């Protein structure tokens, strides 16, 4: 059994280097096996439950696609208004119930810490598909997998993370993986949406080179990777503040032409207006390749935590 058998995947800072390596190599193996065979049967007879209490297109569907491509079955609550949570059931009780129906639970919930709460209530592995403004570890894993494929290696790259670094859970998870490869970080955001101080402190403690600015064009001139994020409207207490900050950063072709040659542009999606659609034709625009990679990473995670790798 793998070192991840029976484990929850809740955050990236507690993943060991060995676990990270295993997830990436298992994803690569599944990608090539799937290319050769079309469908695998590692998870035949197993059931995955997806419990999504917040909107999702990519994360839920790519988890479901991953499970189906591994020969497993899927049950889902995609609309919380139709589940007993709407009657006031606690998260722990919902999780305990679902654990009776499934071998692995994938959950997204608006509250930070919710995935941990569900995991504490059940024996089956819980995978965090986003807990409020907390973490989104499976997205970060597929981001790293994508950078590896696009650039060959992550060692020594300069990576810009731009947009809503305060509320963006994907960047909160991603930095704890990138820091292991000695990347240089350029954080670009409006001052009020800066990366949480605890996270920058964690990074600097490891000796990482972290700079913060508000100038995206300048950062792009030095960057191998530009990771854009959406201003997270649903996390703002004050709608006027969102209106003031939306559209703060937009990558267009003029900016790409001034950027470091070969810059790879990533985005967890959905995009609102952070990347002009004219950029989609640029060969370094990797965001749709990035979403496709999500299936291989999620296949790896499902198989590893259930011992079906
Ligand atoms: C992200 C999320 O849900 O945090 N989306 C995703 O899973 N690809 C990013 C976002 O919503 O902005």
Task: Check: CB of residue 220 under 8 Å from CB of residue 226.
Answer: yes
**What distance in Å separates the CA atoms of residue 236 and residue 132, rounded to the nearest whole number?**
12
Q: Is 291 in the pocket of ligand 1 (CB under 6 A)?
A: no
> Looking at residue 1, what is its pLDDT?
83
Q: Is the pLDDT of residue 71 over 80?
A: yes
Task: Check: CB of residue 150 under 8 Å from CB of residue 129.
Answer: no
Q: Is 269 in the pocket of ligand 1 (CB under 6 A)?
A: yes
Beta bridge partners of 75: 49
Q: Is the pLDDT of residue 137 over 80?
A: yes
**What distance in Å separates the CA atoms of residue 124 and residue 48, rounded to the nearest whole number?**
10
Q: Is 130 in the pocket of ligand 1 (CB under 6 A)?
A: yes
pTM above 0.85, yes or no: yes
Active-site choice (11, 60, 108, 230)? 108
Whether residue 12 lies in the annotated active site: no
Atom of ligand 1 nearest to the CA of 170: 4
Q: Is the pLDDT of residue 199 over 80?
A: yes
Q: Measured at the alpha carbon of residue 196, what is the angle toward residues 191 and 197, in degrees to the nearest 5?
A: 95
- Alpha carbon of 235 to ligand 1 centroid (Å): 12
DSSP H helical ranges for the chain: 17-37, 58-69, 91-99, 114-121, 137-151, 169-178, 197-205, 216-220, 239-245, 253-258, 287-305
Task: Check: CB of residue 102 under 8 Å from CB of residue 76.
Answer: no
14-23, 85-94, 184-193, 270-279: the lowest-pLDDT one: 85-94
Instruction: Give residue 119's pLDDT band: very low, low, confident or very high (50, 70, 90).
Output: very high
> Looking at residue 265, what is its pLDDT?
98
Encode pLDDT of 227-261 as tens digits: 999 999 999 999 999 999 999 999 999 999 999 99
State the number of CA atoms in the 13 A half-sphere of 256 facing the CB: 21
Q: What is the largest CA-CA distance in the chain?
A: 55
Whether residue 87 lies in the annotated active site: yes
Q: Is the pLDDT of residue 130 over 90?
A: yes
> Looking at residue 78, what is its pLDDT?
79
Beta bridge partners of 78: none
Token digits of residue 259: 């950027």
Q: What is the mean pLDDT of residues 125-151?
A: 98
3-state DSSP assignment of residue 275: strand
- How far is CA 308 from each of CA 33, 42, 46, 203, 295, rounded to the nearest angstrom? 15, 6, 10, 34, 16
- Alpha carbon of 267 to ligand 1 centroid (Å): 9
Distance of CA 173 to the CA centre of its chain: 7
Q: Is the pLDDT of residue 80 over 80?
A: no
Task: Check: CB of residue 276 under 8 Å from CB of residue 251.
Answer: yes
Q: Is the pLDDT of residue 82 over 80?
A: no
């Amino acid at each position: 059994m793998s070192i991840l058998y029976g484990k929850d995947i809740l955050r990236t800072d507690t993943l060991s280097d060995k676990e990270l390596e295993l997830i990436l190599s298992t994803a690569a193996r599944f990608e090539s096996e799937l290319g050769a065979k079309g469908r695998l049967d590692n998870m035949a007879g197993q059931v995955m439950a997806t419990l999504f209490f917040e909107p999702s297109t990519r994360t839920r569907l790519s988890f479901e696609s991953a499970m189906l491509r591994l020969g497993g079955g899927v049950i889902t609550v995609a609309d919380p208004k139709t589940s007993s949570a709407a009657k006031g059931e606690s998260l722990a009780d919902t999780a305990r119930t679902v654990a009776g129906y499934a071998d692995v639970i994938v959950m997204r919930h608006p509250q930070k810490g919710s995935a941990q709460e569900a995991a504490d209530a059940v024996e089956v592995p819980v995978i965090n598909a986003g807990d409020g403004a907390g973490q989104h570890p499976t997205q970060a894993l597929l981001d790293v997998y994508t950078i590896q494929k696009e650039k060959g290696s992550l060692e020594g790259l300069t990576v810009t993370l731009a947009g809503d670094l305060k509320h963006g859970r994907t960047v909160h998870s991603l930095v704890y993986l990138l820091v292991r490869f000695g990347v240089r970080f350029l954080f670009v955001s409006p001052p009020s949406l800066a990366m949480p101080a605890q996270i920058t402190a964690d990074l600097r403690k490891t000796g990482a080179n972290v700079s913060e600015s508000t100038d995206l064009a300048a950062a792009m001139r030095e960057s191998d990777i530009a990771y854009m994020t959406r201003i997270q409207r649903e996390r703002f207490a004050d709608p006027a503040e969102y209106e003031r900050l939306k559209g703060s950063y937009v990558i267009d072709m003029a900016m790409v032409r001034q950027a470091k040659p070969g810059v790879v542009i990533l985005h967890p999606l959905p995009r609102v207006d952070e990347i002009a659609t004219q950029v989609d034709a640029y060969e370094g625009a990797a965001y749709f390749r990035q979403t496709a990679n999500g299936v291989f990473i999620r296949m790896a995670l499902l198989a590893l935590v259930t011992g079906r790798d």
